[in-house]
Amino acid sequence: MTPSSSEIKNPFRPGAGHMPPYLAGREHESEEFATLLRQDVILSNMILTGLRGLGKTVLLEKLKPVAIAAGWLWAGTDLSEAASVSEDNLVMRILTDLAIATSSITVTHAPDRKSGFADRQPVEMRLNYPGLRTIYDGTPGLASDKLKAVLEFVWPHVDASGRKGIIFAYDEAQNLADHAARDQYPFSLLLDVFQSVQRKGLRLMLVLTGLPTLFPKLVAARTYTERMFHLVFLHPLNRAETDQAIRKPIEESQCEIDVAQESLRTIWEITHGYPYFVQYVCREAFDVWVQAINQGKKPRSIPIQEIIRKLDSDFFAGRWAKATDRQRDLLAVISNLPNCDAEFSVQDVVESHSNSGTERPFGSSQVNQLLSSLSDLGLIYKNRHGKYSFAVPLLGDFIRRQNECAMPGDQGELFE
């Protein structure tokens, strides 16, 4: 039985980190994570990286129940810039997250002389935040020494409870940074502590997600991190996975509606398989369909042109507004490179512009300076191979639209 139009709920969810109604693809990435969970000694941690809109946060949420089902505790949250201001802030973040996972464990604690406690009588203590903080504050040494002491104290009790290990999962990890000018090294502290405790056999694993700038920052902070992490780079969905991401939610919404093959092709050409854009376009299309039903009509076409304009306004315009006119000129040159959606070099930009016959050519030095400033704006990033890429998915398409009057596809039959 088909629900009435007033009962129909739009199943598509184009939000930051919102779980889609059907998570298409990502089987390979999930299996790679499951392989890491089978480690008896933690030799590899995980970095999940990719552009915005690829579903890193969503995939991280999907991996959480996988880890818990395999017997691991899960601790973690978003890493805000505030967590990276100082070593103390990062330690507080880690202890807070760990306490949520271990607060149900009660232990008998007998402080010794080197811990700095005056009263050395055994006491019962819960491994909640106050308990963990007591161990931390009572340990002499640097912040890294204190945090290691906490983790080394907690681990035997977690191990004795039958747990496989603890996952420390942090989203938006590209916000982590060292601050040499202030003698604060929270990023290095995180790496040093986990490398140390893993070497001692503690099954504590890091899972970090973030933009592609994350891995180069890790290697710059500590050269050994290239051997410490397994890098998983998320790519857009392929055509078949994109079709599933469209069809499955509509089928499960119990609507008697089929998506035409031509419609699937149109959505693919607009979104290129980026999950956020798939959800966005389909949500707009679904709303138009429901409005037509409310008017007693059967929709045959969707205003693709208007949906793209709305997407440009909602997703791209704010980022584009940050760029100066000269930066926009450079971005326009890059958007016309045949490899603009992959990676490009300064030389690619210079040669392309010099052959275009346009005025005010860009020299290598100026391109370098502009790319650096665009990186600061979050529009470009430099990868570990020394080449550049757009930091915003499908930015090239958006830029080309700014210089073209025609929009792709006036109308598209999205449903039939």
Sign of CA dihedral 282, 286, 289, 291: negative
State residue 300's pLDDT score: 58
State residue 13's pLDDT score: 85
Percent of the chain with pLDDT over 70: 86
Percent of the chain with pLDDT over 90: 45
Q: Which domain holds residue 284?
A: 5-17+237-299
State residue 191's pLDDT score: 93
Same domain, 330 and 345: yes
Same domain, 195 and 51: yes
State residue 351's pLDDT score: 83
Stretch among 30-39, 306-315, 387-396, 405-414 having the lowest mean pLDDT: 405-414
State residue 410's pLDDT score: 45
Same domain, 105 and 118: yes
Does some domain include residue 309?
A: no
Q: What is the DSSP letter of 410?
A: S
Same domain, 41 and 173: yes
Rounded mean pLDDT of 379-405? Answer: 84
Residue 251's identity, in one-letter code, is: E
Same domain, 138 and 75: yes
State residue 194's pLDDT score: 96
Contact 187, 87 (CB under 8 A): no
Rounded mean pLDDT of 129-158? Answer: 94
Does some domain include residue 47?
A: yes
Q: Is the pLDDT score of 294 beyond 80?
A: no
Stretch among 82-96, 156-170, 376-390 having the lowest mean pLDDT: 376-390
State residue 33's pLDDT score: 96
Higher per-residue confidence, 146 vs 356: 146
Counting the structural domains of the chain, the total is 3
Q: Is the pLDDT score of 412 beyond 70?
A: no
Q: Ranked by mean pLDDT, which of 165-169, 185-189, 290-294 comes out on top?
A: 165-169
Same domain, 36 and 94: yes
Does some domain include residue 198?
A: yes
Please report which confidence band the pLDDT of residue 355 belongs to, taking 50, 70 and 90 as the band edges. low
Please report which confidence band the pLDDT of residue 1 belongs to, taking 50, 70 and 90 as the band edges. very low
The bridge status of strand 45-49 relative to strand 165-171 is unpaired
Q: Is the pLDDT score of 170 beyond 60?
A: yes
Same domain, 225 and 152: yes
Higher per-residue confidence, 156 vs 408: 156
| Domain end point (choices 209, 233, 257) | 233
Q: Which two structure tokens, joined as six digits, stand for 282?
A: 């389909």
Higher per-residue confidence, 285 vs 38: 38
State residue 217's pLDDT score: 83
For the chain, the C-alpha Rg in angstroms (whole number) is: 25
Higher per-residue confidence, 107 vs 95: 95
Same domain, 210 and 275: no
Give tens-digit pLDDT for 206-228.
Answer: 999 998 888 888 887 787 888 89
Does some domain include residue 416?
A: no
Give the SS3 label for residue 48.
strand
Listed residue (377, 264, 238, 369) closest to 320, CA to CA: 377
Stretch among 140-144, 290-294, 341-345, 409-413 having the lowest mean pLDDT: 409-413
pTM confidence score: 0.83
Same domain, 104 and 167: yes
Q: Is the pLDDT score of 394 beyond 70?
A: yes
Same domain, 224 and 288: no
Does some domain include residue 307?
A: no
Does some domain include residue 190?
A: yes
What's the CATH number where 76 sits? 3.40.50.300
Same domain, 123 and 188: yes
Count the neighbouring beta carbons within 10 Å of the beta carbon of residue 328.
Answer: 15
Q: Is the pLDDT score of 406 beyond 60?
A: no
DSSP 298-341: ----B-HHHHHHHHIIIIIHHHHTTS-HHHHHHHHHHHTSTTTT
Give tens-digit pLDDT for 3-48.
Answer: 555 567 888 888 777 788 778 888 999 999 999 999 999 999 999 9
Rounded mean pLDDT of 55-72? Answer: 93
